[in-house]
């Protein structure tokens, strides 16, 4: 095994260790250089697969479709 392969495996093992640590702690807070603070937590609830919104639910969203790939690229505006 070369040094670069060993380093890669070590870095992969470290990533796994960080991932496991994050799973053990249900809340993670991260602050970007710009000051944006994001809080995330692990949701262990089970959700059914394959559910799709009704046409009324989709119509109630305030989607602003972008010119580039409008089916994939759209913000949802809050309903204030």
| Average pLDDT score, the chain | 78
What is the pLDDT averaged over residues 5-25? 68
Tell me, rounded to whole angstroms, the distance of Cα 5 from its chain centroid.
Answer: 29
| pLDDT > 80? residue 57 | yes
Looking at residue 56, its pLDDT comes to: 93
CA 17-47-41 angle, to 5 degrees, is 40
Looking at residue 51, its pLDDT comes to: 92
CA 35-39-44 angle, to 5 degrees, is 165
Tell me, rounded to whole angstroms, the distance of Cα 68 from its chain centroid.
Answer: 22
**Band of pLDDT at residue 55, cut at 50, 70 and 90:** very high
- Of residues 9 and 55, more confidence is placed in 55
Looking at residue 24, its pLDDT comes to: 67
- Of residues 62 and 2, more confidence is placed in 62
């Amino acid at each position: 095994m070369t040094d670069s392969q060993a380093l890669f495996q070590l870095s992969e093992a470290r990533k796994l260790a960080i991932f496991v640590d994050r799973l053990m702690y249900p809340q993670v807070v991260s602050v970007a250089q710009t000051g944006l603070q994001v809080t995330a937590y692990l949701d262990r609830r089970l959700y059914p697969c394959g559910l799709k919104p009704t046409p009324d639910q989709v119509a109630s969203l305030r989607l602003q479709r972008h010119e580039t790939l409008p089916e994939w690229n759209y913000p949802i505006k809050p309903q204030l």
